[in-house]
Structure 1
């Protein structure tokens, strides 16, 4: 297994839309909080080998899964919202059409029950890679007065599908979000082989001016779930130019920073993701799971046509 030799990864050399061009369907940019493909690709290359199984419990449009397929890994994902699950499936099919060698599947369901949703994959994954939602602080697209010449700020693609769905952690406040993500981590351990890796990308964010240390809280959750914390890596969201940094901060980050300076608080826009690396202990003992009520999901999988070659027939697909 390749070990990490550097603590800063230059994953922001190209904007997200450039990283996705040709590899993902155009509708993928509508998701309000996408993982950067370069981050997913480097995590997969560092912590897995060809033929390994990669799982994303909150797969969204399928960035983790798609990048796994392009590197001859196999992938499985869970996504709560049917709209994004279907888009993840379409992105997997697209990857297969353009030559990706791996296989993938997606289940539409609540990831807090992930171990029960993917029982045939227990103990088989080399890597679980995911990113939590940021509660009520979502991303999306923005046009300000400076961009449009019109007074005010217009936002779009900054919400998930159903804001009334209380099962969606993206609309829960921080304590409920952390509780739900803790359950996801505990279930994910069951899917890892001994020594397997859980990688979580997250960044601190500001809520009403207050800095929320989401990465630090996730480290605590991982340890409580029974994982061994192994590393913390900086994944740059800015580009590295010739002696300069190419700012790729979002409108929301810049707005918070400018407002802070105007109020006499010298804060800066965050230009990186924290990549938190955990390992499943090598022993057979796993912490007990709390009983949960499972709401059955339905599989949303790539078509069975030869050009997609995706299946959910069981663990043989990921041997």
Structure 2
């Protein structure tokens, strides 16, 4: 006797280990090169920018030209810029007053460079996305692509004594903003609850079978690991989304079958200090991309195939064409 499949609410939550995994080769060029001449110079001031190649890969994998892409935490507009360059339309929301003008400037630059998609940026709290955006005006989105804020240890620029002439090391461009509602200031449990609210608020703006892709990476707070990818997985399931895939988007280049890491000054310093204390920390060389859908039967890609294909960002040519068979260890 057959039984109906239990609803999402009745099913036991999935874990990261239970999801199909694929690898995206998205850092053959470093971040600065990926953004050069494509984003306004002041874009560098945002502490938590998505790598453009990650955005491009997700948009190509999960949408068609003419589709709409939504980013409820858009920052300087990386998701939006990459979407309009690929002939998609884009909608972004950003809480802090500082970033929407830069995101709009980046969209204008994209259109000056020939981008054919339309982009719109709203300033407001993503927890109220459904009240900020009129789906009658923009249509429903086929992809939600976003990233929650990370720990400050992963962000920021530094200037040494050699650069400033002053003793010590100065850190800057490491804060998201000053709004008390910014989730960058929230403890992890509040971040999880608020991100669940954001995803739930976005659901009325998503087309049936839409894809939700969230980039995240773990960090350490006072020596303790904050497992943000697992928290994002839990938030998505709590918002009623169905997890379908976990993707590993590389932040390191691939050369002759080896990873070329590009850690920041503070990441490298934190690792050296931890190892000196006997803690076997390693440099983070990837982002997790947690992929959900609103429908169990929806295809992940417009052509009906899985997105589990490794696609390099193109310049220089990928020397490791067989990367699809590589498994991170």
* TM-score class normalised by the smaller sequence: 0.7 to 0.9
Asked if structure 1 preserves the Cα contact closer than 8 Å seen for 2:67 and 2:142, the reply is yes
Asked if structure 2 preserves the Cα contact closer than 8 Å seen for 1:204 and 1:214, the reply is yes
Q: 1:272 & 1:135 partners in 2: Cα distance?
A: 15
Q: 1:136 & 1:253 partners in 2: Cα distance?
A: 10
Q: 2:277 & 2:164 partners in 1: Cα distance?
A: 26
SS of the aligned residue for 1:216 comes to: helix
Q: 1:238 & 1:224 partners in 2: Cα distance?
A: 32
Q: 1:266 & 1:146 partners in 2: Cα distance?
A: 31
Q: Where in structure 2 are the equivalents of 1:64-103 lying within 5 Å?
A: 64-103=79-118
Report what 2:222 is aligned to. Answer: 208
- C-alpha RMSD of matched pairs (Å): 2.0
Report what 2:190 is aligned to. Answer: 176
TM-score by length of 2: 0.80
Distance change (3 Å), C-alpha of 1:190 and 1:137:
farther
Asked if structure 2 preserves the Cα contact closer than 8 Å seen for 1:199 and 1:277, the reply is yes
Asked if structure 1 preserves the Cα contact closer than 8 Å seen for 2:90 and 2:119, the reply is yes
Q: 1:110 & 1:228 partners in 2: Cα distance?
A: 24
> Are residue 10 (structure 1) and residue 25 (structure 2) matched?
yes
Count of residue pairs brought into register by the alignment: 277
How far is 1:12 from its partner? 1.1
Unaligned runs of 5+ in 2: 1-19, 298-329
Q: 2:128 & 2:152 partners in 1: Cα distance?
A: 22
Which moved further from structure 2: 240-249 or 175-184? 240-249
Q: 2:165 & 2:24 partners in 1: Cα distance?
A: 37
SS of the aligned residue for 1:82 comes to: coil
- Per-residue CA deviations over 1:292-315 (Å, capped at 9, x if unaligned) read xxxxxxxxxxxxxxxxxxxxxxxx
Report what 1:161 is aligned to. Answer: 177
Match of 1:52 among 56, 62, 67: 67
Q: 2:233 & 2:162 partners in 1: Cα distance?
A: 39
Which moved further from structure 2: 113-122 or 9-18? 113-122
- Per-residue CA deviations over 1:197-232 (Å, capped at 9, x if unaligned) read 000000011111111110011101101110000000
Asked if structure 2 preserves the Cα contact closer than 8 Å seen for 1:135 and 1:172, the reply is no
Asked if structure 2 preserves the Cα contact closer than 8 Å seen for 1:261 and 1:267, the reply is yes
How far is 1:152 from its partner? 2.1
SS of the aligned residue for 2:74 comes to: coil
- Per-residue CA deviations over 1:69-112 (Å, capped at 9, x if unaligned) read 00000000000112200100010011001100000100000111
Match of 1:19 among 34, 45, 64: 34
Report what 1:126 is aligned to. Answer: 142
How far is 1:119 from its partner? 2.7
Distance change (3 Å), C-alpha of 1:199 and 1:272:
same
Q: 1:45 & 1:106 partners in 2: Cα distance?
A: 21
Distance change (3 Å), C-alpha of 1:198 and 1:94:
same
Q: Where in structure 2 are the equivalents of 1:1-319 lying within 5 Å?
A: 7-120=22-135, 124-134=140-150, 137=153, 139-144=155-160, 151-162=167-178, 165-281=179-295
Report what 1:286 is aligned to. Answer: none
Q: 1:103 & 1:270 partners in 2: Cα distance?
A: 35
Asked if structure 2 preserves the Cα contact closer than 8 Å seen for 1:34 and 1:61, the reply is yes
Unaligned runs of 5+ in 1: 284-319
SS of the aligned residue for 2:99 comes to: helix
